[in-house]
Amino acid sequence: MRRTVRDVVFVDGVRTPFGKAGAKSQYAETRADDLVVALIRELMRRNPQLPPEAIDEVAIAATTQTGDQGLTIGRTAAILAGLPRSVPGYSIDRMCAGGMTAATNVMAAIAVGGADVAIAGGVEHMTKHPMGEGFDPNPRIISEKLVDPAALNMGVTAENLHDRFPHLTKERADAYGVASQEKYAKALADGKIQQDLVPIQIWSSEKGWGLAVADEPPRPGTTMEGIANLKTPFRPRGRVTAANASPLTDGATACIVAAADVAEQLGLPAKMRLVSFAFAGVEPEVMGVGPVPATEKALARAGLSIDDIGLFELNEAFSVQVLALLDHYGIADDDPRVNPWGGAIAVGHPLASSGVRLFTQLARHFETHPEVRYGLTSMCVGLGQGGTVIWENPHHADYGKENDK
């Protein structure tokens, strides 16, 4: 029997407020799995027309799969959230693109009829589980020179990217970082950021019970003058600083995706339609360039060009990584289509969580930009990879029509 590939839609997405990783993080004494549980419960509360037993999969990503981020967290979080025991789940790791990969995996399954509705997301508690915790690289990687040791440090790979593209200067990277802070601050003041934040119950042995309701990492009022002389921790007299890199972050994201026809039958919203996705590998030493070939592959698979993309949500692991993609396509550093509400430099980057944050924000942008038909979400990935997902806006006049290219 021949299978018909089905359209897949993004139904809804939520995230926790993000915490600034460290001993003073608002989540310092809160479990990682409890963050995911709260998001699954909120998705079900926001979409009461979705029968819990109709969920076919729960895929949750974590880069450091140990402790309260281990034990097949997709399954354990589903049980803890009160979903029926019949709902299966699993965990996944593609470092920074974990949540993105969790979503593309379940969407691919939905497209070929392996599932109808799924929950996907990611969590990273970098306070409890710093990046690289328990990491034991095979010595062959270094001894046989398969990968330069520097590739195991993401900050060093960003410095390498500056080396490869010297016109992507520290001044441009700093200016991009300042702009990210400014855009986030404006979006927060306009009530945009809060729409999909889920208040999280937290515990502190010093303060007792509390509620996390806001992101901790943003640094409002950041100026070029104020950041000019920040330390360059990855290289003496380098170019990567705390002002043009994402901070270490605690947080989680989750979303519902479904077959378009099933979403319609259940009365679920279709906030975006999946068009295409792609992952690509690059030299691990310059992992930040990964979004370029991933985007080229995703555009080719969709039969689109970069000129067809009206909105971009790009993960700001480092300014230079975003600038490399923009420069490749001749897009200005301050193009208003790019990260309209700022990005990870301001809000933070809890590794495996970030891909679904990009999806959720793009869906919000689509609501107020019916003139935009296609949007793109992309991110670099540790050890030399990139991931890109292209979406169609259901509010556009030509939504669902065959592309005439």
Asked if 255 is an active-site residue, the reply is no
Tokens (6 digits) for 105: 């995996």
What is the distance, to the nearest Å, from the Cα of residue 315 to the centroid of all Cα atoms in its chain? 6
- Angle CA 283–287–292, to nearest 5: 90
Residues spanned by the domain of 357: 147-192+275-391
- Angle, nearest 10°, between helix axes 354-368 and 98-111? 70
Question: pLDDT truncated to tens, each residue of the chain (405 aa)?
Answer: 677 899 999 999 999 999 999 999 999 999 999 999 999 999 999 999 999 999 999 999 999 999 999 999 999 999 999 999 999 999 999 999 999 999 999 999 999 999 999 999 999 999 999 987 888 888 888 788 888 887 889 999 999 999 999 999 999 999 999 999 999 999 999 999 999 999 999 999 999 999 999 999 999 999 999 999 999 999 999 999 999 999 999 999 999 999 999 999 999 999 999 999 999 999 999 999 999 999 999 999 999 999 999 999 999 999 999 999 999 999 999 999 999 999 999 999 999 999 999 999 999 999 999 999 999 999 999 999 999 999 999 999 999 887 654
Q: Is position 113 within any domain?
A: no
Active-site residue identified among 125, 129, 162, 349: 349
Q: Is position 350 within any domain?
A: yes
Task: Categorise residue 22: left if φ over 0, alpha if ψ from -120 to 50, beta otherwise.
Answer: left
Q: Is position 14 within any domain?
A: no
DSSP one-letter code for 381: E
Tokens (6 digits) for 116: 């109808």
Q: Is position 208 within any domain?
A: no
Decide: 123 and 14 in contact? Cβ < 8 Å: no
From 198, 202, 199, 201, select the one nearest 29 (Cα to Cα): 202
Predicted pLDDT of residue 138:
87
Q: Is position 168 within any domain?
A: yes
Report the number of distinct structural domains present in the chain.
Answer: 1
Active-site residue identified among 96, 129, 162, 365: 96
The Cα 349–Cα 380 span in angstroms is 12
Active-site residue identified among 129, 255, 369, 380: 380
Q: Is position 215 within any domain?
A: no
Q: For the chain, give me the number of helices (H) and strands (E)?
A: 12, 12
Tokens (6 digits) for 157: 């790979």
Q: Is position 31 within any domain?
A: no
Q: Provide the CATH number for the domain around residue 287.
A: 3.40.47.10
**Which residues are registered as beta bridge partners of 378?**
314, 388
Single-letter amino acid, residue 242: A
Predicted pLDDT of residue 69:
95
Asked if 96 is an active-site residue, the reply is yes
Predicted pLDDT of residue 403:
60
- State the number of CA atoms in the 13 A half-sphere of 123 facing the CB: 30
From 123, 99, 46, 106, select the one nearest 358 (Cα to Cα): 99
Asked if 380 is an active-site residue, the reply is yes
Q: Is position 156 within any domain?
A: yes
Single-letter amino acid, residue 197: L
